[in-house]
Structure formats: C-alpha cells, structure tokens
A = this chain, B = another copy of it.
C-alpha cells in the first residue's frame, strides 16, 4: 500500500461531519478502491467544542481556514465552508497556490468565480473537484464531463433545489399555501431560517450556471441566468396544473442554439407522466440531451449529509487514483464565451391565470389582447359564476414567443376587469 492521501477539511457543519463519518465508516472499502488509505490529518472550524459525534483525536486544528491549505501534512483540501467569498475563496485560492487539489461543495463560489479558479488550478497543474456542489449525491458533473464526453450537449434541464421541490410537492399533496408549507419546512430543517437563496431560485441558478459550464464547455456565466423563484406559485395554480395534466416544478434549463446559450430558472409545468413529473420531495434530477447519446437522466437526493458526503468522497477517490479532468471539460483558455440568449427569446407554451370581474365581455377583451399579439389559445377554464365578483380564469397557449406573450400581458393587465397582475407559468413538454 502506497502512502496515504492526507485530507484537510474546512467547515464541520452537517456536511463536514458527514464526510468525517463516511471516511471512517468506509475506511477499508476506500483503501481498497484507491490503493491507499484516505486519512483526515487536519480540520478548520470555528467552534472546537461542538459535539460532532466523530473522533477527531490526532487531527490538527486550524482556527483560520487558509492556514489549513498551508499545513504540510495536508495533501488535499476539502472546502465545506460555503459562500462565494472569503474565507471559502481565500482557502481555495491558497490551496491552489500551494499546488494542492481542492474538493468543494460550494456552488456559490464556483458560480461567481469558476472561470478564474479553473484558470488558476490549471496554471498550477492541480484539480478542483466539485461533484458535491450540484445535485448532492447524483454524480452529474462526472456524468456530463466524462460520461457524455463524446457528445455536444444540446440542452440540460432539471430540478436542482430540493427545498423548493419539497415545498411544491407538499403544497400539491396537502392543498396548503406556500407560506404555510415554508414555515413547516423551516421547522423540519428542510428550509433555512432565511429561505431567500432557495425559494427565490438563487441556489438553483448557481448550480445551473456551474452545470452549464460543464455541459457546454463554456465560461461560468451566472449573471446571465434568468431567475424566478416559487413565492408566487399558489395552491390554486397547483390545483389547476393537476387538472391540466401537469406538475409545477422549479426548473433549471440551459439550452444551446445558434444564437448562444439560454439559462433560466423558474417555476414550470411539466407533464404528470414525464420523468420530471415523478421527481418529488427533496429529490433532484438532471436531464442532458447529447447529440449522440440523446436524452440521459440522473435522479437522486440533492442534499443531506450522506448524499453530499458521497459526492465529496467520490472526488477524493478520483484524486487518490490520479483521475483528473479540466474543471469544465476543456482547458480554461479554450472555454467558449457564447452570447447569453435573453428569456424574451424563449418560444414555448404558457399557462396564464387571471383574476377577473365576472361580467360580460371580459373574456372577449382578454382573447382580443392575445389575438393582437398572435398568441393562440389552447385551452380555457372558467369554473362557477359569481356575477360582479372576482373569479379565476385559466388558459394555456399554443407555442408562442415570450416577447409576444409579454406584450399581450401588458394589454391584459391594463383591462379594468382584470383585478390582479396575471400569473404566468411556462410549460415544457420534455
């Protein structure tokens, strides 16, 4: 047996403790798979006294994360601090500067600084593993970068935020509203005290930006991701979706076209019988469409100590075995910088829900506004009658340009009888 791979771990929260537990539980298995032991020699964490239910005797403690990177008894640095800036960024930069490979679960860091970090790692001839940064226990980075290496990927789409998927699933199965279910998710620990990153789509957008770079061999371009969260999805919309044969999911989509690359995160209706329609609760899924492999889907747990630790340690095994690849599949200098395609250029189907005064002529006005922009209606639902009061009117469109739909919506919003801003949810028939 050759010399051990000596690991330094920064950040001992849920995931850090999970990684320590995994390395302990699978000690023999990993030594066999790597041909050498994986040994934790140092950690960095703020609170030394917290009980993490793992044995840290004989492991060096560092109060400062960047100091961990300089510890001569550390061969590889695992960054589990999180956040797009220091101390996580300083630690990763220090490790790379020291020529040490890094394994990180930090999507925010990669979404913001991925291109620079890829170039820095390459210049030093070292690697950054980030399987754990996207879709938890699903080996999607490896699946795209190596498994589909022979393909030009045309599109990726998927469910990348388990918190939102849990909330949307609960809303559907219980009929309750967003605020109510979010509060419960927070109590259960499935959502953060400040849920903004999750429910406003930012976390999914970080992950999409990173996956887009891997899938298409382009520079990470988080700023170009169109982002909408799930706060405005109502129990009413979920019930209508069901009636129309759809599930509402927070979807992340990146698509390559002749014009460039489109990246978007937003609530979306997908057919009930489709693969994504079956992905419920905290599960994540990614579908990649390659020009030779065609569609390949990956489904699994997107978060949690066990699945995330599984991804972190898979990267450590690769490093221990000497299996490396450029971060985004091709050398950093060769990463393309395609034009971002704006969301207004989307072409597809739409669900609209209007709250209108129940009086004669309203539907005619709405229909005229759509017709004026050449938006063609596919189905139309109005239940019950409440003369003189507000009633929901739901319709779906045939394929149309988002720009045209937006013009129609401006006209609809201006109608007297339309009492609330129209709700729009995109429909995708993958």
Residues of chain A touching chain B, judged by Cβ–Cβ distance below 8 Å, are 18, 22, 25-26, 29-30, 32-33, 35, 131, 136-139, 142-143, 146-152, 217, 273-275, 277-279, 290-301, 304, 306-307, 309-314, 316-318, 321-325, 329-331, 334
List, in ascending order, chain B residues with CB within 8 A of A138's CB: 293, 296
How distant is the Cα of A330 from the Cα of B31 in the complex, in angstroms? Answer: 10
Q: In this complex, what residue of B is CB-closest to A277?
A: B278
Query: Is the Cβ of B32 less than 8 Å from the Cβ of A330?
Result: yes
Q: In this complex, what residue of B is CB-closest to A288?
A: B300
- Candidates B152, B278, B307, B322; contact of A294 at CB < 8 Å: B307
Query: Is the Cβ of A299 less than 8 Å from the Cβ of B296?
Result: yes
- Candidates B29, B146, B217; contact of A317 at CB < 8 Å: B146
List, in ascending order, chain B residues with CB within 8 A of A290's CB: 137, 310
Query: Is the Cβ of B139 less than 8 Å from the Cβ of A146?
Result: yes
Query: Is the Cβ of A296 less than 8 Å from the Cβ of B294?
Result: no
A119, chain B: closest CB distance, angstroms:
16
- Candidates B22, B217, B275; contact of A275 at CB < 8 Å: B275
**What would 16 more interface pairs be, CB under 8 Å, given A146-B317, A149-B318?**
A22-B150, A26-B292, A30-B150, A32-B330, A137-B293, A143-B143, A146-B146, A147-B314, A150-B314, A290-B310, A292-B307, A292-B309, A293-B301, A297-B300, A298-B299, A299-B299
List, in ascending order, chain B residues with CB within 8 A of A325's CB: 321, 323
Query: Is the Cβ of A33 less than 8 Å from the Cβ of B139?
Result: no
List, in ascending order, chain B residues with CB within 8 A of A295's CB: 300-301
Query: Is the Cβ of B137 less than 8 Å from the Cβ of A142?
Result: no
Query: Is the Cβ of B30 less than 8 Å from the Cβ of A296?
Result: no
Known: A292-B309, A296-B300. A143 touches B150 (CB 8 A): no
Query: Is the Cβ of B306 less than 8 Å from the Cβ of A292?
Result: yes
A104, chain B: closest CB distance, angstroms:
16
Query: Is the Cβ of A148 less than 8 Å from the Cβ of B314?
Result: yes
Known: A143-B139, A324-B323, A330-B33. A149 touches B313 (CB 8 A): yes
Query: Is the Cβ of A293 less than 8 Å from the Cβ of B317?
Result: no
Query: Is the Cβ of A292 less than 8 Å from the Cβ of B146?
Result: no
A293, chain B: closest CB distance, angstroms:
4
List, in ascending order, chain B residues with CB within 8 A of A142's CB: 139, 142-143, 146-147
A242, chain B: closest CB distance, angstroms:
13
How distant is the Cα of A203 from the Cα of B48 in the complex, in angstroms? Answer: 55
A248, chain B: closest CB distance, angstroms:
17
How distant is the Cα of A138 from the Cα of B275 in the complex, in angstroms? Answer: 15
List, in ascending order, chain B residues with CB within 8 A of A146's CB: 139, 142, 146, 314, 317-318, 323
17 A-B interface contacts by CB (under 8 A): A26-B151, A32-B334, A35-B331, A136-B293, A137-B294, A146-B146, A146-B318, A147-B314, A148-B314, A273-B278, A278-B278, A292-B310, A294-B301, A294-B304, A294-B306, A296-B300, A323-B324
List, in ascending order, chain B residues with CB within 8 A of A310's CB: 148, 150-151, 290, 292-293
Q: In this complex, what residue of B is CB-closest to A276?
A: B278
Query: Is the Cβ of B148 less than 8 Å from the Cβ of A139?
Result: yes
How distant is the Cα of A149 from the Cα of B131 in the complex, in angstroms? Answer: 12
Query: Is the Cβ of A317 less than 8 Å from the Cβ of B149?
Result: yes
Q: In this complex, what residue of B is CB-closest to A324?
A: B323
List, in ascending order, chain B residues with CB within 8 A of A299's CB: 275, 296-299
List, in ascending order, chain B residues with CB within 8 A of A292's CB: 18, 22, 26, 137, 306-307, 309-310, 313
Q: In this complex, what residue of B is CB-closest to A322?
A: B322
How distant is the Cα of A333 from the Cα of B278 in the complex, in angstroms? Answer: 42
Q: In this complex, what residue of B is CB-closest to A142?
A: B147
